Each structure stands twice: as C-alpha cells, then as structure tokens.
Amino acid sequence: MIKGLYETHLFVENLERSMDFYSNVLGLELCRNRDDRRTAVFWIGEPKQQMLGLWEKPKEEIDIRHFAFQCEPDWILNESINFLKENKLNFWNFLNDDTERPMVFAWMPAIAIYFNDPDGHDLEFIGLIDGESSSTKRVLSYEDWKALETKNK
C-alpha cells in the first residue's frame, strides 16, 4: 500500500523567483518547466524519488503551507544556521529562548530548524536522530536532549 510521500505542490506568486530559490538556494534539480501553464517541478533528493511542484497563482490564491526536507542530522546541527544566514533566510525554532539554533522534537526524536521561502511557506530541515522517544518535553535544545539521553541510560 502506501510506501511514502512522492510529491507535494505549492502555489507561488512569482514562478521565476521561486524557481531561483528552489534551484539556486536549496539546490533542487529542475525536472520540468511548463511556461504555458506557469508550473515547475523539481526532484527532491535523487531523481524520480520525490517531487516538488510549483504553480504560479495570484497572491490572494496562495495559502501558506508547511513541509520538511529530510537532511543529515549533523548538517542541521553544525551547518544549517550558517546556510540560512548566508542566504538571508528568516529562520526560527520553538525553544522560546531567542537563540539561533536547531531544536529537537523529543517524541520522534529529530533535530530541526524552520525557515521561509519567498512566498512565506514554512519549510523545515529535519533529520531523525538516534535515541529513544521522550514525552518529557515536546521541544528541547540539542544539548538538553543529549543530557536527557545520558540520564536515561
């Protein structure tokens, strides 16, 4: 039956601006562009594994969506913040401590950071990390997660 999520689509206000963002900033490979329909499709990861479709629509028809890109946890922990800053992207966590760092969703567990695309869609870099699920707190800093893991061993 269901083996995964193959594709998702977003409405965007300016197709060229969004194509530039998804290809030149995030590094996705363009696999189809239909100027007559004002659409573009990108491979996510390896070709023919997952797709992201963009459809140009008037601003009033755009509803803000969220989805996450699977990434290596070490990259998220050690490089994602610099990447987001270098590309002047608005990013955030749910730690409520005014820090610029990834967070851990303890129930999964996974490390993540959120950011926006040019249309305001909420995107996320996420990577599953080794360890047991915890319901102690919903969101933790990576350091607090490691301390919790050590305590529970």
Domains of the chain, earliest start first: 1-63 (3.10.180.10), 65-153 (3.10.180.10)
Provide the pLDDT confidence category of residue 133 given band limits of 50, 70 and 90: confident
For range 47-70, the mean pLDDT: 96
The rounded distance, in Å, linking the Cα atoms of 79 and 89 is 14
CB 146 within 8 A of CB 106: no
| pLDDT at 74 (0 to 100) | 97
Per-residue pLDDT, 152: 75
- Looking at the chain, the whole-number percentage of residues with pLDDT higher than 90 is 87
pTM metric for this prediction: 0.94
